[in-house]
Chains A and B, each alone.
Chain A
Amino acid sequence: MHYALCLTLFMVGLYGVLMKRNLIKIIISLVILESAVNLFLIMLGYRAKGIAPIMDGTIPPDTFVRNSVDPIPQALVLTSIVIGVGVTAMTVAIALRLYERYGTYDIQEIRRLRG
């Protein structure tokens, strides 16, 4: 169920990237797309009523493994968010430069290159 919602979010992002004409809307769709994947990763490691995955020596390893949430997806998501911010910054910078050159955010009017 949760995963289906996540996939829906992914599809919303994909739809926006492919169908929208405004550069800013395309950028927002990209961010939605990335968030959907990040959400999916986080949910993989989630465990209801789980404990934080920090070994402090007071919990025996067996109980710890059975109760803690999976820390690897969290580490991955941190990395992937950082990458996502980098990409978004790059996209926004290029979109602004495009606006300076063409005076519009409409992708249909930014067409010097032929397919």
Chain B
Amino acid sequence: MMQILPLFVAIPLAAGFIIPLVGRKNPRLCDALGNATTLALLLMAISVIGKSGVYWVGGWLPKAGVPLGINLVLDSTSVLMLLTITGISFMVTLYSIQYMDKYTARSRFYSLFSLMVAGMIGVALTGDLFNLYVFLEIASIASYALVAFGCQHEELEASFRYLVLGSVSSALILLGIAIVYALTGTLNMAQISKVIGVSSKPLFYFAVALFISGFGLKAALVPFHTWLPDAHPAAPAPISAMLSGVLIKTIGIYAMARVLFNAVGMTPLFLSVLLFLGALSIMVGVLLALGQDDMKRTLAYHSISQMGYVVLGIGLGTRLGIAAALFHLMNHAVFKTLLFLNAGSIEYATGTRDYNKMGGLREKMPVTGATSLIASMSISGIPPFNGFWSKLFIIVAAVQAEKYGYAAWAVIGSILTLASFTKLQKRAFYEEPKEAAQVAKEVPVLMQASMIGLALLCVFMGVLWIPQIRDSFFMAAAKALQEGFVYATHILGE
């Protein structure tokens, strides 16, 4: 059954190489192949819901409980990540079919896109620390190229900054991996957790500090966030949506949580560092967002702020906290993707991203207006949309853990988010139409379809938090992380 696991990586990787070979002359073939790949991945991800298992690459089974080769691990947490990655990828490729008409080199776009997806899925599945680094670099390099895709001044500048800081973070992570290898003599995450025990060597703390700053840079936590507001708006809209929607979560937060909880071991000290970084990100992100005029830049700052909520939830360290954080991660993927696609549609129709030049778009672009309103209410935490439930339960978990200050802090952050999105909605969609908005008309049908699909998810995903689904899905995923070293016994046996 677990023979399906390598296919998750192999299919997008193969697509990444085949698309530029066959699709150079025929852009429609690229669209078909790109969408077929993501749809196949989504169906595969749905087929593994509720399953778990280990796949040993190359048939190198562990001998006497000691791993020899690389393994791919499917557990409740990776299922959740797989669903998020593949679901969002499919929506984004659907949107790209018509959006990318204004760019050339469509085959390269889909090729890089598939490579990025392959890297992210690899990070979500792998059980080996160095393998994680390799997949992380595949995803990162593809994303550097995608940020620079337009090859204009801003794109190149943003990509260069992103690339430099991204490479520094990769070097920090690799140094951390090297130190862990020096301490334990193995790279398999399960085996590391068996060997490392409860270590208190100074080197161990140094390695964890490297991991937190390295993955923190990838996840754009404050104070490591400076590259994100440049890089995310510069990319084409579908890529902005992918970067903010899933990339920073997979190679930043998920990878950090996996390494800290299941490989090197979580301690109260690291949890309090994460709590603090999360709280800081919530406030700094949203305050900087309030002062922006560029629509995509505002959304990028909100990504920092919302990632703060996820890290805050994980930093609480309780079952409910982590489950709510993972739920918020999934919700944020949906509504932030939708918001970036809305911004892309507006840019497609009006040619501007400055929302002081828009106004009155609600009548000119009814579908974009309605879906954007839903996404804005969702991110601001208005019931009954999905963002409300996950934020509510992060705050409930903070209260249960007797972190009243952090709970109040999260509420204030949410109110400021609402203020920022009220401003955005009012300026872009409700006021008198300004110059750029006069000629606007609704975007083509496939772009609408993708936005409507995501808006429906925003409305109905709150249902996932009813107890039956929550316990088998989010609580199980949180359990897999929180149990820490029990992870090893699932993989290597006793």
Report chain B residues within 8 Å CB of A115: 226, 229
Report chain B residues within 8 Å CB of A95: 160
Contact in complex: A113, B156 (CB < 8 Å): no
Report chain B residues within 8 Å CB of A52: none
In chain B, positions 193-251 with a C-beta closer than 8 Å to chain A are 226, 229-230, 234
Q: Is B11 an interface residue (CB 8 A)?
A: no
Known pairs A37-B178, A44-B182; A91 contacts B156 (CB<8 A): no
Q: Is A23 an interface residue (CB 8 A)?
A: yes
Chain A residue, CB-CB nearest to B230? A113
Q: Is B363 an interface residue (CB 8 A)?
A: no
Interface range for A? 35 or more
Known pairs A23-B160, A83-B134, A110-B157; A40 contacts B175 (CB<8 A): yes
Name 30 interchain pairs, CB-CB below 8 A, sorted by A.
A33-B171, A34-B167, A34-B171, A36-B171, A37-B175, A40-B175, A40-B178, A41-B178, A41-B181, A44-B178, A44-B182, A72-B181, A73-B181, A76-B130, A80-B174, A83-B134, A87-B137, A87-B141, A90-B144, A90-B163, A91-B164, A91-B167, A94-B159, A97-B156, A98-B160, A101-B152, A102-B153, A110-B160, A111-B157, A113-B158
Contact bitstring B162-189, A, C-beta under 8 A = 1, else 0: 0110011011001100100110000100
Interface of B is mostly: helix
Contact in complex: B164, A30 (CB < 8 Å): yes
Report chain A residues within 8 Å CB of B187: 72, 76
- How far, in Å, is A20 (CB) from chain B's closest CB? 10
Contact in complex: A30, B167 (CB < 8 Å): yes
- Count of B residues near A, CB < 8 Å? 33
Rounded to whole angstroms, the CA-CA distance of A97 and B144 in the bound complex is: 14
Known pairs A41-B178, A80-B174; A33 contacts B157 (CB<8 A): no
Q: Is B18 an interface residue (CB 8 A)?
A: no
Binding site for A on B (CB under 8 A): 130, 133-134, 137, 141, 144-145, 148, 151-154, 156-160, 163-164, 167-168, 170-171, 174-175, 178, 181-182, 187, 226, 229-230, 234
Q: Is A49 an interface residue (CB 8 A)?
A: no
In chain A, positions 59-83 with a C-beta closer than 8 Å to chain B are 72-73, 76, 79-80, 83
Rounded to whole angstroms, the CA-CA distance of A27 and B226 in the bound complex is: 19
